[in-house]
Structure 1
Amino acid sequence: MNKNTNTVWHHATVTRYRREQLNNHRSAALWFTGLSGAGKSTLAHAVEEELYHLGCRTFVLDGDNVRHGLCSDLGFSTEDRTENIRRIAEMAKLLTEAGVIALTAFISPFRSDRERARNLFSHGDFIEIYCQAPLELCEQRDVKGLYRRARAGEVKEFTGISSPYEPPLNPELVVATDSLPLEDCVAQVLTLLRVREVIKQPE
């Protein structure tokens, strides 16, 4: 893709730092990754609920929701999945510049795509959270029937069945969504955000 050489980045007077000061917390991108059915969306929305009650500015970018709009023109080929993640990463980057804590819930199966997303952000702004659950359990949780259809050959290039999932090698956090209650998973994420000074320690 050729970049337009006629565009110039405009530097706003209201900076990310000033927005963070107004919000009383730092912004960051929380990148939830894992197999379909691993609990990414459930955990991201539960974390957002807790952050909301703490007075934080947040927004969840959810896989299904984004494909209804921003990425409605994309399919599920390897190339389209890469483009899907590229767009999400750029959107998450904009949200962090707006002073928001962005939470993304996408399978994002390929390490190279996640690394490319990470490289958009300054050090410490991208927090990769691996929702760890075995394939067998994810299939048992298959509320959408996608694994069943993939096993039957009705869904092509389905992650975990006919397309690979590459687990993170060095995520900021691994959450055992297969064995821990949701509230414990949420607590782990909030603890990490406090350690990294995205949000303040409770008084």
Structure 2
Amino acid sequence: MLPRRDQLQIRLAADDASAGGPLTYDKHQHTVEAVISMGSPVKRSYGTELLRISPDAVDLSRLREGGIPLLDHHAQSSIDKLLGRLVDAWFEHGALVGRFKFNQTEQGQKAEGMVARGELTGISAGYRVDQWQITDADGGVVDERDARWDDDLTFTATRWQLFEASLVGVPADAASSIRSLGDPDVLRSVRARMRARHNIVLRNSRLSHE
């Protein structure tokens, strides 16, 4: 059974406890397979966020064009944070799965050793959302022009691009602030417009009763 989003982790050996590491680790190729995303709901300040996991929804073009790096905790400030790269990706039982190859640098070899020994299991995705679908609590599609800022809304990423993956100390999506690349600004803007329209309606309602 695949893990829930709050249990995302590199695939570990379940039938050989003495191995202490993932069955998919290949010490000769310096590769390992990992569940990158399952798209499960995550609470945000603007509502609930979902990632749609399908070939039509996930843009993996960077894998073919320039590569998708494996980073240390989403850090992009130094080449020392480059641990490896994604060399293959596919869809399996509703999850986005990938094969990562470790760099043979000091940092890459350190990360590879920790993964091989089962000491580091967390994986997290960094991505950009290009298209959202907004739905209400009943599952109905909502036009942002008609939604109230305080509605119980779900934002489903129906088209998104994977930019990087990271090894993290906590194998969970709790570090939600680093999960998307720049997208909270877009959604805050949507919420701000909803709130502004809501305030205008309230103000006009008060004026009509004066």
What TM-score comes out, normalization by structure 1 length? 0.28
What TM-score comes out, normalization by structure 2 length? 0.27
Determine which structure has more spread, i.e. the larger CA radius of gyration: 2
Instruction: Select the structure that is richer in helix.
Output: 1
Instruction: Select the structure that is richer in strand.
Output: 2
**Higher relative contact order, chain-length normalized (CA < 8 Å, sep 6+):** 1
